[in-house]
Amino acid sequence: MRDIENILKTRIQNDKANTFAIIVPTDSARLKRQRELVGYHPNRAVADLRVYTLGSLIQRLYDQVRPSRQYISQGLQNLWLHEIVDPQSDNSDTYRYEAFRPSQDLSVPDSTLSLVVDTINHLRERGETALNIVADNPTKVDLVHIYENYEAKLADQWIDEQGKHLHLANNFNSEFMRNAFPQVNLVVVEGFTVLSKADIKILTGIAGMPNIEMWFRTDYVEGNENLYRNIADLVRQFEAVGVNIDADYEREPELHQHFAKNLFRAEAEEVNLNHDPETAVQIKVLKPADRSEEVEQIAHLIQKHVSDDNCKLKDICVAYYNIGQYQQRIAETFPAYGIPYSLVEIAPLTRSEVVKAIFSRLSSRQVPLEGDYFSDVEPALHTRLFHPDAFQRYVDDLLKKGRVIQHILNPMLRKNREVVEGEIEAYRQFNRIVKELCSVLKSDGVESCSLDDYIEKLHHIAKHTNYQNRPATKAETVRIVQLGELRSLEFDVVFLGDFVEGRFPANYQPDPLLPEIPYRNEEEQLHDSRFMFYRVLKSFRKVLYLLTPKRERAADLIPSPFLGQLKALADVQEIEIADPTQGSTSGFLSTYSNHVWTSPVPSNESFPAEIAEMRPLINHVVKVEKSRENTHDHLDYEGVLTIETLSAVNRRRLESRREHIYSVTELEIYARCPFQYFINNVLKFRVKEDETEDELSGLEKGSLLHDVLFEFYNNRRNQKRLPIGQCNEEAFKEAKAQLNELLDSNAEKKRNRRKEKLIGENNLFWETDIEKLRIALHKWLAAERTYGLPVTPRYFEVSFGQERELRYPELSCREPITIGDVRMTGKIDRIDIGNGTFNIVDYKTGSSTVRMPEILSGRSLQLPIYLQTAKKLLEMHGGIGLEPAAGLYYKVRLDQFNAELGIGTESQNGDAYSGYNGTDWRPVSSRNGQLLADETFDARLARVSGYVQHYVDSISKGTFPLITRVETFVDSEEEGDTPITPKNKTEPCNYCSYKRVCRVGAISEVTQSDD
């Protein structure tokens, strides 16, 4: 076998570097390889050295394609997909992508959109079009829709990263290679463990060219498939087209052969393992109490290696499979030990301080951020319209006048070089995305956009554009890396942290959108992890430390299964750090917390002097947390008031809550968060309302709508006018005029009733709001006219359990209506009567819509309770035999009207009720989750009554836990007795005024919503 490295060396020494190209996986591998190759030349200077990442090779080849398409970056791709999924148009016929929305009126969360983008990119990488997906569920139907729209948008004009690879794979032409690299006759592909199908096709296409010789260099030992399976696949594919294989790449026969042959091999025990005493003492396992102590121990050992062994900081590396939750700990601990470190972080552009400052200065609407990045500038008004060219000039000018570059480079600020480089990189990327956006808009023929629109688009692109915020440094520091970056790097001392089950190897997560065609299947992922671990074993020259923390909060952690595999091959020494508390206060607290957690009575040993005074507080915190997590001795700290902690008076007060009259809203607060209910309704805290504005507030809008509609229908009924559906043109005009009159008079009353922020007669904001409401009400009326079902609006504002004057006495009653044993009060906006059925209608001006899971998990009670109440009220007034058909939301929002189903029976769909989408009435789609079979409908109402009883029982017993701890369930025949916990438990926290005072953020089980 020829020695390929020698061939390369000879060519360099003969000044023929332009005759070969080397392809490597990453940019750092490229730099390292360039340094090595330059070292072969006697003058240490090489012209035309061609070392590329795969991405830049592809770009060079694609540059030869004619006609070529314009490239769109990942950030712009995200913007397009965002605009496809959440179009700006008010057209209610636009496809809705319901499967990706948490509820109908909420936009698709950013994290869901990222999932969609990833899936589409994976499909494109494999060359699968939208047509290849079997759309057999709503999620896939929506995914196909998005993918088709995205492909249509790309058309023949644009191309994304995956598109370039695919295009070259499917249309490979040796001319591309010859034109891009006219002198090259040798291509060396080095160090890859994964290659996509498209990339393999391109590379094997190059290999098939008559004048080109290709080498694939990898570390591969035949016979150990358990370690090398993924690589063996690549080797086979390259071998099949005559590529030369160098299988000894980056493997030192002396040091690594033993692991290469035996690691993960089932029959390893039967092999003569030949334990090397040199190696045996070099792998050490540490078992810190938790992750904080883990970082402490690493810092302690680094200090020791530097002081005792003269080890250089740059010869030490700390590696994690996933660095995420360690970044903060390292940032707190390493400086306390005086250890400088470098951590190359890839972050979204919106995290850059410079970019934040630029966004804050782009329009006069933003509040400029304080800071050192801008001289004073005068931004334009947010509504000003710009042609894309003009916008580009505007931004260039603003940055120039603001002297941003000069501020970044200001030597007076003494920023370190890494920070400055990170800021320059962010600035450069920002300019690139402005240029890209303007060029795309121009090509799309956009003549003008408002400044606000540009800013919104740019912000979205920036959120999905990454930059290196701490570029690699040559300074003397400890390197902190993710395992993926470790590759061929070597250090004297290596620490592998978080070496526990589930973290490394990571648990396999099926592809959430297309589980049957995953990007990497479970086996491939496991083999990737195995090879990564083998790389760790190749990365140290003297000592490797494996850290397996024992606990994380209340959970026990188990060492990684890879540790057992390693122990079968090498002597692994378990060590303990003699006195880990020596280091810092946080080290002491970490050890102390482990001690109190495991021993029933905390020790009396003295605390370090600097925190001795905090001892009573620390003991109290320990007592409370231990109770919350483990012993549950002090239930009052979990929101559960027990007999022992309550005075007799307070006990009686709580117990008397069984007799209270409850509103649905009140119980829905309890359902969302019992603790919020406790503060609101038991302690009766009052939150200062937001300042009133010139516009109609949400509350004012709601009450105005209710007043107008009530008077309108009530008057027509009293005046015995025809139902709207039977009006001829003239009568309909008259009805419209009545509605206008009522809107004007009621709006005027509202305006005059304002006590603060008084509104003048011609206030523009107010007038605009009223006009929008007028348009929506006209649409409502037009919709009512075309309803066409034998159903009549019959009762309006029917109240029960309310002392004040009855607005609509015919069906209302002052007595509360009981649901189970619970006395309820409320007001039903409207009851429509049909043939043996009735519907209740709730008027809404807000955007929220209740979905079935919220009814099922007991968070939404209104429609099911009102349907049962309406039935009782109707029966009390002779309406025996009328059965509930549906609970509907009539939504008047902005200048639109829609009718949506909240809960309804399948059998009456289209006969007793319909939905209105803004243009016409249609039976509700059979895929709509709010539609239930008749038996399920009855069971669901009964289930909700059960919740009501359950909540009132819990209130009177004093149970007020935080949202994260509540299990909302009531058993029923239909649903069984499985607890149904809401999917996003902390959703109610998003709008809660007590977020800062309750401890929800401190609880580990929190699953916040994405946005």
Which residues sit at the interface with ligand SF4, rule CB under 6 A?
673, 675-676, 962-963, 988-989, 992, 994-995, 998, 1000
The token pair that represents 462 in the structure block = 């920036």
Q: Which residues of 718-748 are buried (b: 16+ CB within 10 A; e: fewer)?
A: eeebebbbebeeeebeebbebbeebbeebbe
Shorter beta-carbon distance to ligand SF4: residue 557 or 989: 989
Name the residue nearer to ligand SF4 (CB basis): 791 or 962.
962
Please identify, using beta-carbon distances, which residue of 126 and 995 lies nearer to ligand SF4.
Answer: 995
If the CB atoms of residues 676 and 812 are measured against ligand SF4, the closer one turns out to be: 676
> Please, what is the minimum distance in Å from the beta carbon of residue 986 to ligand SF4?
6
Structure tokens at 876: 């009390």
Which residue, 384 or 965, is less far from ligand SF4 as judged by CB?
965
Q: In angstroms, what is the minimal distance from the CB of 671 to ligand SF4?
A: 11
Please identify, using beta-carbon distances, which residue of 687 and 894 lies nearer to ligand SF4.
687
For residue 809, count CB atoms less than 10 angstroms from its CB and return exposed for 0-12, middle for 13-18, buried for 19 or more.
Answer: exposed
Shortest distance, position 1006 Cβ to ligand SF4, whole Å: 9
Least spacing, CB of residue 994 vs ligand SF4, in Å: 4
Tell the smallest beta-carbon distance from residue 690 to ligand SF4 (Å).
17
SS3 label, residue 902: strand
Neighbouring residues of 1010: CB distance < 8 A, sequence distance ≥ 6: 109, 110, 111, 112
Nearer to ligand SF4, 600 or 991 (CB): 991
- Token pair listed for 552: 């994380």
Of the candidates 37, 6, 540, the one whose C-alpha atom is nearest the C-alpha of residue 255 is 540
> CA angle at residue 947 from 945 to 953, to 5 degrees?
110
Contacts of 707 (CB under 8 A, 6+ apart): 742, 746
Nearest to 117 by CA among 434, 465, 438, 349: 465
Q: Which residue, 176 or 670, has its beta carbon nearer to ligand SF4?
A: 670
Both structure tokens of 226:
């358990």
Report which residue type is found at 864.
Answer: P
Whole-number Å distance between alpha carbons of 443 and 5: 48
Name the one residue in this structure whose structure tokens are 């709601």: 702
Residue 202 or 992: which CB sits closer to ligand SF4? 992
* Cβ at position 905, least distance to ligand SF4 in Å: 33
Instruction: Give dist(CA 264, CA 228) in Å, integer.
Output: 10
Q: Based on CB atoms, which residue is closest to ligand SF4, 82 or 672?
A: 672
- Of the pair 513, 992, the CB lying nearest ligand SF4 is at 992
* 341, β-bridge pairs: 478
Q: How far is the CB of 675 from ligand SF4 (least distance, A)?
A: 5
**Helix (H, G, I), strand (E, B), or coil: what is residue 699?**
helix
Strand 817-819 to strand 822-833: parallel, antiparallel, or no bridges (unpaired)?
antiparallel
Q: Please report, to the nearest 10 degrees, the dihedral formed by the alpha carbons of residues 232, 238, 241, 243 taken in order.
A: -120
Q: CB of 324: closest distance to ligand SF4 in angstroms?
A: 24
Q: In the complex, what is the shortest distance from the CB of residue 992 to ligand SF4, in angstroms, rounded to a whole number?
A: 3
| CB 955, min distance to ligand SF4, A | 15
Cβ at position 958, least distance to ligand SF4 in Å: 16
| Burial (Cβ within 10 Å: 0-12, 13-18, ≥19) of residue 413 | exposed
Residue nearer to ligand SF4 on the CB measure, 793 or 982: 982
Tokens found for residue 998: 């309750």
CB of 662 to ligand SF4, least distance (A): 19
Of 583 and 982, which has the nearer Cβ to ligand SF4? Answer: 982
Amino acid at 706: H
Segment 447-450 long-range contacts (CB within 8 Å, at least 24 positions apart) = 447/387, 448/385, 448/386, 448/387, 449/385, 449/386, 449/388, 449/391, 450/382, 450/383, 450/384, 450/385, 450/386
The conformation of residue 579, written as its DSSP 8-state character, comes to -
Q: Say how many CA atoms lie within 13 Å of 958 toward its Cβ.
A: 19
Q: Which one-letter DSSP state was computed for residue 54?
A: H
Q: Which is nearer to ligand SF4, 102 or 793 (CB)?
A: 102
Torsion of CA 926, 930, 931, 935, to 10 degrees: 150
DSSP-assigned letter for residue 933: -
Give the nearer residue to ligand SF4 in terms of CB position, either 196 or 676.
676
Provide, rounded to whole angstroms, the least separation between the CB of residue 669 and ligand SF4: 9
Nearer to ligand SF4, 668 or 700 (CB): 668
Q: In angstroms, what is the C-alpha Rg of the chain?
A: 35
CA 58 from chain centre, in angstroms, equals 31
Residue closer to ligand SF4 by CB (options 117, 664) is: 664
Tell the smallest beta-carbon distance from residue 826 to ligand SF4 (Å).
23
In whole angstroms, give the CA distance from residue 973 to residue 936: 10
Inter-residue contact 494 to 538 (CB < 8 Å) = no
Residue 625 beta carbon to ligand SF4: minimum distance, rounded to whole angstroms: 17
> In terms of C-beta distances under 8 Å and separation of at least 24 residues, what long-range contacts does 333-338 make, across chains too?
333/292, 333/295, 333/296, 333/299, 333/584, 333/586, 333/587, 334/295, 334/299, 334/478, 336/299, 336/583, 336/584, 336/586, 337/299, 337/300, 337/302, 337/303, 337/583, 337/584, 338/303
Q: From the CB of 680, what's the least distance to ligand SF4, in Å?
A: 9
Minimum CB–partner distance for residue 995 and ligand SF4 (Å): 4
Q: Which of 124, 26, 109, 134 is nearest to 77 (CA)?
A: 124
Cβ at position 328, least distance to ligand SF4 in Å:
23
